[in-house]
Structure 1
Amino acid sequence: MGPGAVPPGGWQLIRHWQSSPNCGPRRDGLTPRFVVLHYTAMETAETAIERLCDPEAEVSAHYVICRSGRVTQLVPEGLRAWHAGEGEWQGLSDMNSRSIGIELDNDGRGPFAEPLMQSLEVLLRMILQGWHIPCANVIGHSDMAPGRKFDPGPWFDWARLETQGLAARRGHDRGPGDPDLESFAKLARLAGYTADTDPETLLAAVRLRFRPFKAGPIEPEDFTPIGHRAMWT
Structure 2
Amino acid sequence: MDRWLIHREVPSPNWNARKLPVSMVVLHYTGMASGAEAIERLCDPAAEVSAHYLIDEDGTVIRLVDEDKRAWHAGRSYWRGVTDINSASVGIELVNPGHEFGYRPFTDAQMDALIPLLADIVRRHGIAPANVVGHSDIAPARKTDPGELFDWDLLARYRLALAKPKPRMRLIYDNDGAFYLALERYGYDIADGPAAIRAFERRWRPHRITGAIDGQIGALLFELLIARDLGQDC
How high is the TM-score relative to the length of structure 2?
0.89
Q: Which residue of 1 aligns with 2:232?
A: none
1:16-31 to 2 correspondence within 5 Å?
Answer: 16-27=8-19, 30-31=20-21
Amino acid at match of 1:117: M
Partner of 2:185: 190
Q: CA deviation at 1:14?
A: 4.9
Q: 2-side partners of 1:58 and 1:198: how far apart?
A: 26
One-letter identity of the residue aligned with 1:226: L
> In the TM superposition, what is the alpha-carbon distance from 1:223 to its structure 2 partner?
2.3
CA distance in structure 2 between the aligned counterparts of 1:92 and 1:204, rounded to whole angstroms: 21
The 5-angstrom pairing of residues 66-215 of structure 1 reads 66-108=56-98, 109-174=103-168, 176-179=170-173, 180-193=175-188, 195-215=189-209
- Structure 2: unaligned runs, 5 residues or longer: 230-234
Q: Which residue of 2 aligns with 1:33?
A: 23
Shift of 1:2: 4.4
Query: Are 2:219 and 1:224 equivalent residues in the alignment?
Result: yes
The one-letter code sitting in structure 2 at the alignment partner of 1:204 is R
Identity of aligned residues (%): 41
Q: What amino acid maps onto 2:53 in structure 1?
A: Y
Structure-2 change in CA distance of 1:91 and 1:132 (3 Å)? same
* Unmatched 5+ stretches in structure 1: 6-12
Q: Displacement of 1:198 after TM fit?
A: 3.1
Is the counterpart of residue 42 in structure 1 residue 42 in structure 2? no
Give the number of the structure whose residues are more often helix, by fraction: 2
Length, aligned pairs only: 222
| Amino acid across the alignment from 2:111 | M
Q: Secondary structure at the match of 1:64?
A: strand
**Cα gap change, 1:181 to 1:72, in 2 (>3 Å):** same
1:177 and 1:105 map into 2 onto residues whose CA distance is 37
In structure 2, distance between residues paired with 1:162 and 1:226: 17
How far apart are residue 170 of structure 1 and its match? 2.6
The amino acid across from 1:44 in the alignment is S
Give, in angstroms, the shift of residue 132 of structure 1. Answer: 1.1
What CA deviation, in whole Å up to 9, does each residue of 1:39-84 have, x standing for no partner? 0011222211111000000000000000010100000001100000
Once residues 13 and 119 of structure 2 are traced to their aligned partners in structure 1, the CA distance between those partners, rounded to angstroms, is 26
Q: 1:177, 1:58 → 2: CA distance?
A: 43
Q: Secondary structure at the match of 2:62?
A: strand
Of stretches 112-121 and 160-169 in structure 1, the one that deviates more from structure 2 is: 160-169
Coordinate RMSD, CA, aligned = 1.7
